[in-house]
Amino acid sequence: MTAAKMTTKPILLTASPRPSRRFSNRHRRHGRIAAAAIASFLSLLVASAAWFSLVFDPSHRFAINHFRTWDSSISATHSPPLTPSHSPSPPPPQKPASLTPSPNPNSSSFSPLSLNHIVFGIAGSANLWPRRREFIRLWWRPGVMRGHIWLDDRVRLSRNASASLPPVRVSDDISRFRYTNPTGHPSGLRIARIISETFRLGHRDVRWFMLCDDDTIVSPDNLVAVLSKYDWREMVYVGGPSESHSANIYFSHAMAFGGGGIAISYPLAEALAGMQDDCLERYPKLYGSDDRLHACISELGVPLSREYGFHQWDIRGNAHGILASHPVTPFISIHHVEAVDPLYPGLGHLESLKLFTKASRVNPRSFLQRAICYDREKRLTFAVSLGYVVQVFPNIVLPRELERSELTYTAWNRAGHRFEFDFDTKDPYRSVCKKSIQFFLKNVFEDGSVSVSTYTRSNQGNDLKSKVFCFPHSPPLPHVDEIRILGNPLSDNWHLVPRRLCCKVDQTVNRTLWLNVRQCERRELGSVSDSLLP
Do residues 208 and 266 touch, judged by C-beta distance below 8 A?
yes
Predicted local confidence at residue 481, as pLDDT: 94
Q: How much is the pTM?
A: 0.78
Predicted local confidence at residue 56, as pLDDT: 42
Predicted local confidence at residue 327, as pLDDT: 95
Cis bond before residue 472 (omega within 30° of 0): yes
Burial 288-313 (b: 16+ CB within 10 A, else e): bbbbbbbbbbbbbebebbebbbbbbb
pLDDT tens digits for 291-342? 999 999 999 999 999 999 999 999 999 999 999 999 999 999 999 999 999 9
CA separation for the pair 153, 172 (Å, rounded): 10
The residues near 56 (Cβ < 8 Å, ≥ 6 apart) are none
Predicted local confidence at residue 369, as pLDDT: 97
CA separation for the pair 133, 151 (Å, rounded): 11
CA separation for the pair 343, 360 (Å, rounded): 14
Predicted local confidence at residue 38, as pLDDT: 63
With CA atoms as reference, report the closest residue to 445 among 386, 358, 370: 358
pLDDT tens digits for 27-84? 455 555 555 556 655 665 555 554 444 434 433 333 333 323 333 333 333 333 333 3
Where the chain has pLDDT below 50, the residues are 1-27, 50-101, 104-107, 534
pLDDT tens digits for 182-208? 999 999 999 999 999 999 999 999 999
Predicted local confidence at residue 520, as pLDDT: 92
- What domains, with CATH codes, occur in the chain? 115-306 (3.90.550.50), 359-519 (2.70.130.10)
Q: What is the CA radius of gyration of the chain?
A: 35
Predicted local confidence at residue 531, as pLDDT: 57
Predicted local confidence at residue 396, as pLDDT: 94
Predicted local confidence at residue 475, as pLDDT: 80
With CA atoms as reference, report the closest residue to 327 among 487, 493, 498: 498
Note the Cα 171 to chain centre separation in Å. Answer: 24
Element (H, E) at 441: strand 437-447
Do residues 363 and 489 touch, judged by C-beta distance below 8 A?
yes
DSSP 419: G
With CA atoms as reference, report the closest residue to 367 among 279, 481, 490, 246: 490
Predicted local confidence at residue 368, as pLDDT: 97
